[in-house]
Amino acid sequence: MPEYLNKEILILGCGNVLFGDDGFGYAVVNKLNALKEKIPALNSNKIGIIDAGTGASHYILSLIDEDTPIKKIIIIDAIDFGLKPGELIKLYPNDLPKIKKYYIDAHDMPLAGLIKEINEKYGIEVVVIGCQSKNMTAPDICLELSEEVKNAVDRAVEMVLDELLK
């Protein structure tokens, strides 16, 4: 079992840094890792802060079973819900089927079923912190977040900290 599956809380930054705002999850995870020494809630061996890139579904979420001690998963990703660019939204497993279209990873693979299964079958709390993207540039390479999404990174960090302190 990978070491990260032995944590009680997983914070997963999802997306691809090569495609503009799809790098939002990576930017938030980088900021969280930079704050670990200053914020005790982040500096615990019970918490795994992971840049999951585009592999959250295949290399992390699909490996969870009844033996993993995970109690909570916080997923951070760029979304396209038709909101104002940079707007943040918090979603829970029961919210996901109501959404017409959502991006959880760079392959646009719907994870609602997997997230619901993890929640219902193993009792793991799952929350998705999504940021409305402005520029998803695939297949064109762009290593920059839009200004609106870049400005949302600190607010997303606060939302993650709120989730940790619940």
* pLDDT tens string 113-132: 778 888 889 999 999 999 99
Domains in the chain, number = 1
* CB-based contact 135:13 (threshold 8 Å): no
In whole angstroms, give the CA distance from residue 61 to residue 114.
8
| pTM (predicted TM-score) | 0.88
In whole angstroms, give the CA distance from residue 92 to residue 94.
6
For the segment 66-95, the average pLDDT, to the nearest whole number, is: 92
Give the domain CATH number at 55. 3.40.50.1450
The boundaries of the domain holding residue 123 are: 3-165
